[in-house]
Amino acid sequence: MTQTYDEGSIKTLDWQEHIRRRPGMYIGKLGDGSASDDGIYVLLKEVVDNSIDEFMMGNGKKIEIRVSNERVTVRDYGRGIPLGKLKDASSKMNTGAKYDSEVFKKSVGLNGVGIKAVNALSSYFQIKSFREGEVKELEFSEGNLQREMDVVPTNEPNGTYVCFTPDASVFKNYHFIDDYVVNMVKNYTFLNAGLTIEFNGERYYSRNGLRDLLEENMESEPLYPIIHLKNGDIEIAITHGNQYGEDYYSFVNGQHTTQGGTHLMAFREAIVKTIRDFYKKDYDPSDIRASIVAAISIKVEEPVFESQTKTKLGSKDIGPNGPTVRNYVQNFVQKELDNFLHKNPEVADMLHRRIQESERERKAISGIQKLAKQRAKKANLHNRKLRDCRIHFDSNKEGCENTSIFITEGDSASGSITKSRDVNTQAVFSLKGKPLNTFGLTKKVVYENEEFNLLQAALNIEESMDDLRYNKVIIATDADVDGMHIRLLLITFFLQFFPELIRKGHLYILQTPLFRVRNKKRTLYCYTEEERLAAISELGKTAEITRFKGLGEISPDEFKNFIGPDIRLEPVLMKKHESVPQMLEFYMGKNTPERQDFIIDNLYVEKDEI
C-alpha cells in the first residue's frame, strides 16, 4: 500500500512533545540509573549546571541538593532568574541569558535547552525564583503548565529553587545511586574552589582544586608528590601510581568531559613531548603515560561539544580571538611542567625512575605479547570463545551505547544467552572453568594465560581502553557459591590490570531471577526472597515455585525477558575511600584467618539488617 504524502503529512510538534518523543537528542541515553551517564543524572546535571554558572560569575557560594526516593530538589543562592522571564526560561526553547557572552562568558550551557528538557521529561516540575525580596513560582507536568503563582513578597535570599520528579514512563524502573551523585558533586567542588555543595545534608568543599581531585580518586599513595599547576583559564594535576593503564579527568568550564576531546588529546601529547625534551630521550609514549593519573580543566568561550550531553569537547579554539585549544594546552604544559621539573629535581628523578621501570616491563613482556596476539587472532578466527555482535562501541559515535558482552562460565549458560541475545548489540564470551586468581601477579599473566589473553583480545583493550569494543562488560554467573567465586576472580583481574574499565563505568553484574512463581494466568520472576513471598501472596499459595540454581536452567525463551529492555544490571563501583591494593589483599590474598574471622563476624545478622 502506497503511503499518502501531502500537506497533512507535515506536522509541527510543540517543544515539550518533541523532547518527549526524541529524548536522546537532548539528554543522550535514558537508562534506569545503573550507569553514571543515564538520563536521570543528566537531568540533575542540567539543573546544577545553571547554579554553577551563577557561581562562576561570582554569585552564590552554596548549592543545596536533595534526592529523596524519586524527587530531586536543587536550591542555589545566585541572582535568581528575572521574575518576568521565569516562564520563558523554563518552558520556551532557545531562551536564556547565556547567548550574551558578557553575562555568562565561559558557561557550560549555551543553547537554552537544558532546563526545558528537565521540565518536559518530568512528571512534576516546580521552579521558584527569589529575587530582591520577591518570589515567582511555576508548576508543570510533562512540560505543560499546571499552576502559575503571582509574584509575592518573600524573606528568602536571592536564588533559584527547582524540584522535579523524572517521568517513570520515560525512565523505566529508574533509581538514583548516591555514589554517582556524590561523584558529580565532588567534581563540581574540585573545579570551583570556595563553592560549598550540600547533598542530602552532607557538605562538600575543596580548597586545592584538581590536587584534591587526584588525592580523592587515587586508591594508593602517588609515587611522587602531585604536580599541581594553574594559570588563568587552565589548571592541571599530574602524578603516577602503581596501577596499570592511564587515568584522566578532563573538564571544560566545569563540565566533566568523560569522553575527552581536543583539550585532553593536546594534554596527552604535551606530556609526552615535554618529558622527552626534559630527559633528552625519545621514550615510548606508553612508557611515559603508563600508570599516570592526571587531570586538566580549561575554560573556553562559547565551547562546542559533540553532543547535547556535553561529554566531549569539539572546540578548536579557546575563544573568538584566542589560540587553538591544542596550542594553548601544549604551550602551558611545556612551559610550566618543564619549569617545575627543573625546580624540583627529586620529583624529576622519581618520575624518571617510573618511566624507566615501565620501559623495562614493556620490553620484558613484548615477546610474550607478540605470541599471545598471534594465538588470540588464530583462536578468534575459529570463533572458539567469542560469539560476537554486529555493532560495536565507539566513544566517538552516538547510538552504540547499548553494545554489551556477557562473560559466562560453561556451555549451558553461554548457550542460553547466545540463543536469547540481540545479535546486533550483545556478544557472548564463554569461560572454561574458573579463571586464575591474578592477585599479586604481573601483567605477563594476561598474555601467558589463554583465558585472559583471549578475553582481553575479545574486548580489544590490549593497546588502549579507547579501543574497547563494548560499552558494557557484563559478568553473568550463577547465583551460587561457585558463581560468586568466578565473579570475584574476574573483578580481581580487571582491578589488577584494567582498572579503567571499572573507573569509567563499563563493568556490570547481570541480575537474574532466583525464583519463578506462576499459576495458570500469570508468571512472576523474583530476584529476592521478599519478592518471592510477595508473588506467592499475589498469585496464591497453590502457585508453582521454581528455584533457578544456574543460568543454564533458564530456557532461552525465558532468558529473553532478563537480557532485553528490562535487563537488571548492578554496576561495579569503586568507592573513592577504598584502597584497591588493601581490598585485594584482604579478599584475594593469603590472609585466610583474618578472612575467616570476618565471615564469622558478619555471617549472622538480624533480619532488619539484611
Higher per-residue pLDDT: 276 or 577: 276
| Of the listed ranges 63-77, 132-146, 233-247, the one predicted with least confidence | 233-247
pLDDT at residue 99 greater than cutoff 50? no
Q: What is the pLDDT of residue 294?
A: 94
Structure-block grid coordinates of residue 98: 547565556
DSSP 324: B
Strand order across the beta sheet in which 292-298 lies: 227-231, 234-240, 292-298, 247-252, 255-256
Structure-block grid coordinates of residue 401: 551505547
Structure-block grid coordinates of residue 96: 536564556
Amino acid at 320: P
CA atoms of 366 and 218, how far apart (whole Å) = 28
Q: What is the pLDDT of residue 607?
A: 39
Concatenated DSSP letters of 62-94: EEEEEEETTEEEEEE-SS---GGGHHHHHHSTT
For range 341-370, the mean pLDDT: 87
List Cβ neighbours of 491 (8 Å cut-off, separation of 6 or more): 475, 502, 507, 572
pLDDT at residue 610 greater than cutoff 60? no
Q: What is the pLDDT of residue 381?
A: 42
Query: Phi and psi dihedrals of 31, rounded to 5?
Result: 70, 180
Range of 150-164, 359-373, 433-447 with top mean pLDDT:
150-164
CA atoms of 490 and 452, how far apart (whole Å) = 9
For range 241-254, the mean pLDDT: 85
Longest Cα separation, the chain:
79
Closest CA to 340 of 209, 211, 223, 225: 225
3-state SS, 258-271, equals CCCEHHHHHHHHHH
Q: Looking at the domain 383-512+550-579, which fold is it? A: Rossmann fold (3.40.50)
Give residue for cell 541572582: 79
Q: Radius of gyration over alpha carbons of the chain, in Å?
A: 26
Closest CA to 397 of 469, 474, 296: 469
pLDDT at residue 282 greater than cutoff 90? yes
User: Model confidence over 458-516: pLDDT tens digits?
Assistant: 898 877 788 899 999 999 988 778 888 889 999 999 988 888 888 888 999 998 888 88
User: Model confidence over 48-97: pLDDT tens digits?
Assistant: 988 988 888 888 899 999 998 789 999 999 999 999 889 888 887 755 55
DSSP 237: E
Q: Looking at the domain 15-204, which fold is it? A: Heat Shock Protein 90 (3.30.565)
| Cβ neighbours around 299 below 10 Å, total | 20
List Cβ neighbours of 21 (8 Å cut-off, separation of 6 or more): 13
Q: How many helices (H) and strands (E) does the chain have?
A: 20, 23
**Mean of all residue pLDDT scores within the chain:** 83
CATH code given to domain 211-361: 3.30.230.10
List Cβ neighbours of 114 (8 Å cut-off, separation of 6 or more): 46, 47, 49, 50
343 burial (CB, 10 Å; 0-12 / 13-18 / 19+) is exposed
Q: What is the pLDDT of residue 399?
A: 62
Give residue for cell 570551583: 192
Structure-block grid coordinates of residue 193: 574552589
Structure-block grid coordinates of residue 163: 524540584
Residues pairing with 61 in the sheet? none
Instruction: Provide long-range contacts, Cβ within 8 A and 24+ apart, for 413-416.
Output: 413/476, 413/477, 413/478, 413/550, 413/551, 413/552, 414/387, 415/552, 415/556, 416/551, 416/552, 416/554, 416/555, 416/556, 416/559
User: Model confidence over 14-45: pLDDT tens digits?
Assistant: 778 888 888 877 887 888 888 888 899 989 99
For the chain, domain boundaries: 15-204, 211-361, 383-512+550-579, 515-547
Specify the pTM: 0.71
Give residue for cell 556535553: 310
Helices 178-191 and 39-56, interaxial angle, to 10°? Answer: 20
For range 286-294, the mean pLDDT: 91
User: Model confidence over 377-404: pLDDT tens digits?
Assistant: 555 544 467 888 888 887 666 667 789 9
CA dist list (Å): 147 to 81, 120, 290: 18, 15, 57
Cβ(79)–Cβ(131) below 8 Å: yes
CA atoms of 38 and 28, how far apart (whole Å) = 8
| Of the listed ranges 3-17, 65-79, 129-143, 426-440, the one predicted with least confidence | 3-17
Q: pLDDT confidence of 226, banded at 50, 70, 90?
A: very high
Q: What is the pLDDT of residue 342?
A: 96
The conformational region for residue 433 under phi > 0 = left, psi -120 to 50 = alpha, else beta, is: left
Helices 592-603 and 580-588, interaxial angle, to 10°? Answer: 90
CA atoms of 515 and 524, how far apart (whole Å) = 8
Q: pLDDT confidence of 137, banded at 50, 70, 90?
A: very high
DSSP 312: S
3-state SS, 429-494, equals EEECCCCCCCCCCCCHHHHHCHHHHHHHHHHCCCCCHHHCCCCEEEEECCCCHHHHHHHHHHHHHH
